[in-house]
Amino acid sequence: MTALPVFAGFGLQGRRALVTGGGRGLGLAAAAALAQAGAEVTLAARSQAELESACAAIRAAGGVADHLVLDVTDSAAVTAAIRERPPFQVLVNNAGMNRPKLLVDTLDEDIDAVFALNVKATFYVTREVARSLQAAGLPGSIVNVSSQMGHVGSPRRTLYCASKHAVEGMSKALAWELGPAGIRVNTLCPTFIETAFTAPMFADAAFRQFVLDKIALGRLGQIHEVMGPVVFLASDASSLMTGSALMLDGGWTAA
């Protein structure tokens, strides 16, 4: 009888996962998906009320979740918080922001805020999680939520594109640095997803049409469509994948 190869599967039982920006939107979807796959999930964000509500919902659905009130742009706070806990074998760096403006209207304050959250916070959290994993001799999977804008350019998004291109470069370098320790680093690159955060953007009919014209599938992404890719990257199903960008862009970058 032919010996069949064995599929590692998508299960995350026995693994601890940390999701930043986990109280709502894409972060909450990622946390819920990881919990459904069997991980013990910690949701990190600044709003305690949102975190408590999100954790309660995950537990009500049968998952295991706790929360961590944390400003991920505060390096010392990140270090202290993560060192107090056992190692996280899955990290989803989801916390991020955008301030779409023309270059000539972009303030120094905008540059500082976007890079502080999109780039520096990702560095801070990844650094501390990697330290913990290496000290414990454990493998891990780090998923940096980037964007299709980490691969292309777009009007009024010079600052955002710059920050996400930085995340892409950081992730590729980390794949080489952390690979020998069995720690994989990949990016997830969504197109525009319909959430409460993006709703005001799409109130502008011209902008909505501009976006739809760029997506081969002809529609916006839905929040649940992020969940499977997150679990794939976190699990052993993607065990040979590191330094890669998983495009979740409906074909935007295929043009």
With helix as H, strand as E and coil as C, how does 123-184 read? HHHHHHHHHHHHHHCCCEEEEEECCHHHCCCCCCCHHHHHHHHHHHHHHHHHHHHHHHHCEE
- Segments in the chain forming alpha helices (H): 25-36, 48-60, 75-83, 108-115, 121-136, 158-178, 205-214, 227-234
**Catalytic annotation on 124?**
no
Cα 74 to Cα 43, 62, 122, 143, 148: the distances in Å are 17, 32, 11, 20, 27
Count, in order, helices (H) and strands (E) of the chain.
8, 7
Which residue among the candidates 160, 192, 232, 252 is catalytic per the annotation? 160
Mind telling me the catalytic residues? Answer: 160
